[in-house]
Amino acid sequence: MESDILDSHGFLIGEELEGDDFHYVEEDQKNENIGPSSIPYPSSTGSKNNDLIRNSRIGELASNKAGLQGIDKEKVKQIIYEASKNSAFYLNEEKKDEALSIKLKQMMKKYESLKKQNLSTINSKVDNLVQVAERERDLSHIIVHIDMDAFYASIEERDNPSLRNKPMAVGDNSMLTTSNYEARNYGVRSAMPGFIAKKLCPELIIVPCNFDKYRAVSKQIREIFSRYDPDYTPMSLDEAYLDITKYLDTIDESPDNVVEQIRREIHEETKLTASAGIAANKLLAKICSDLNKPNGQYRLQNNVDDIMNFIRPLSVRKIPGIGRVTERILNEMDIKTCGAILDNRVYIHQMFSSSSFNFFIRAALGIGSNIVKTDHKRKSKSISRTFSSLSKPDDLYEKLRELADHLAADLLKERLQGKTIAITFKLVNFKMITRERSVKKYIHTADDIYNIGKQVIFININRIIPLQTFESTLITFINRF
């Protein structure tokens, strides 16, 4: 995705596309083979609560991920509400929703005022900006986005066939990292607390994460990617971008056949399936990879007419970087598709910062980066774990030691060292705190990471206990050799 963008109101518009090769929450989004849930419908709630479960992350847990399209979303939202009401998570979402509602009210007041004004002069300026964006369009590359299907869950099913055709998820009672498609039939999805998932699907099997195994499989998949594009860009353990333009110049095959071959090799060597999108740039390829999940692919031809016919009716939420909050803002302006972004471009120009406007317009035109390369100058490496609430410092230090060992092992593999340790704490009330400490010499050993991290924890111990999860990150890298 493009770099993070904050508009003048502080809302996140663009999320990171060029991410670490290390994320623990998968983001599959489409599958038509779904079935109904048989869970009894709970009692209804008041209108305020209904608004909250519709607009907040509580409602987000019943989103359009792969395998979730055919479920009764309102039913799932009610069950999630009943399971989470009065929890720290719910109360925190309630506060955030109230703050967002106030900001939305202010924005809509400005929007209504703009609609009464003569904006013809600004219209000309905006049209010129759109023409500038259009000149950036490049249709000379064939970009592929490959995304493994329910990666962690599929590995566990492969290694334990008794899990197949049963609703299962990977994670723990605090948080799930992914679920298989059978579990998604019940509304169970990634980034959902396990205890809520159990309410949706009492027979759900939860398997603990095994990241060493997932990294090993990811290494197999990346070796396959390198056969077609040595400079592929890994986005996570389970997805990557490839530029197969040069490869296609060496053979007499269509892009469709080459991508089918890549997916076939992945299946033959790992017994796992992958989905893919093929398009002129990374933005479009990522969108396309969701269209025929699981185990499918979609190609968008490299010509302007096909791209615009594809992108105009596309929901704004399908754009990588537009999340729940931004979607809600745009929907309040009756902007629900990329075509509506273009049709209302003058209002978007006046309502948002210039960087946000540029992000919106380029996305709505289907214009994105086609630069695919391995990042040899990564700035950080992180390890994260989710666990049951910790309330004792010794337990926290024990978890820090575990993270330090894993982080040091990864650094050794990549021959990296750094000068700054950053630790992000997620409290039981779901608030986030990040603290960091820099040292004069470069470090890479587990003991050094642990000792510096322990200082960070000790200084902040009264603010962070009890704790839900934390992430240790070493930043400011150089190569050791």
**pLDDT value at residue 95:** 85
Q: Environment class of residue 252 by beta-carbon count within 10 Å: exposed (0-12), middle (13-18) or buried (19+)? A: exposed
Cβ 21 vs Cβ 184: under 8 Å: no
CB–CB of 290/30 below 8 Å?
yes
Residue 186 has a pLDDT of 92
* Residue 292, helix vs strand vs coil: coil
Model pLDDT, residue 70 = 58
CA distance 476 to 416: 10
* Residue closest to 418 by CA, chosen among 377, 474, 481: 474
Residues annotated as catalytic (active site), given as ranges: 239
Which residues have CB under 8 Å from 340's CB, separation 6+? Answer: 316, 330, 334
- Give the model's pLDDT for residue 3: 31
What HEC string does 97-117 produce? HHHHHHHHHHHHHHHHHHHCC
Query: What domains lie within the chain, and their CATH numbers?
Result: 380-479 (3.30.1490.100)
pLDDT of residue 375: 59
CB 262 within 8 A of CB 146: yes
pLDDT of residue 459: 85
Q: How far apart are CA 187 and CA 190, in angstroms?
A: 10
Q: Of the candidates 463, 467, 473, which has an alpha carbon nearest to the alpha carbon of residue 397? A: 467
From first to last of its 481 residues, the chain has per-residue pLDDT tens of: 333 333 333 333 333 322 222 222 333 333 322 222 222 323 334 445 555 555 555 555 545 555 555 567 788 888 877 877 777 767 877 888 888 899 999 999 999 999 999 999 999 999 999 999 999 999 999 999 999 999 999 999 999 999 999 999 999 888 898 999 999 999 998 888 888 899 999 999 999 999 899 999 999 999 999 999 999 999 989 999 999 999 999 999 999 999 999 999 999 999 999 999 999 999 999 999 999 999 999 999 999 999 999 999 999 999 999 988 899 999 999 999 999 999 999 999 999 999 999 999 999 999 999 999 875 455 566 666 655 566 778 888 888 888 888 888 878 777 788 888 888 887 766 677 888 888 888 888 889 999 998 888 888 887 777 766 666 666 655 555 4
Cβ neighbour number for residue 264 with a 10 Å cutoff: 12
Contacts of 414 (CB under 8 A, 6+ apart): 381
pLDDT at 50 (0 to 100): 54
End-to-end CA distance of the chain: 31
DSSP E strands in 274-415: the ranges are 274-279, 297-299, 380-390
| Contact by Cβ (8 Å): 467, 390 | yes
Distance CA 272, CA 152 (A): 10
Buried b (16+ CB within 10 A) or exposed e, 18-38: eebbbbbbbbbbbbeebeebe
Note the pTM of the prediction, 2 decimals: 0.73
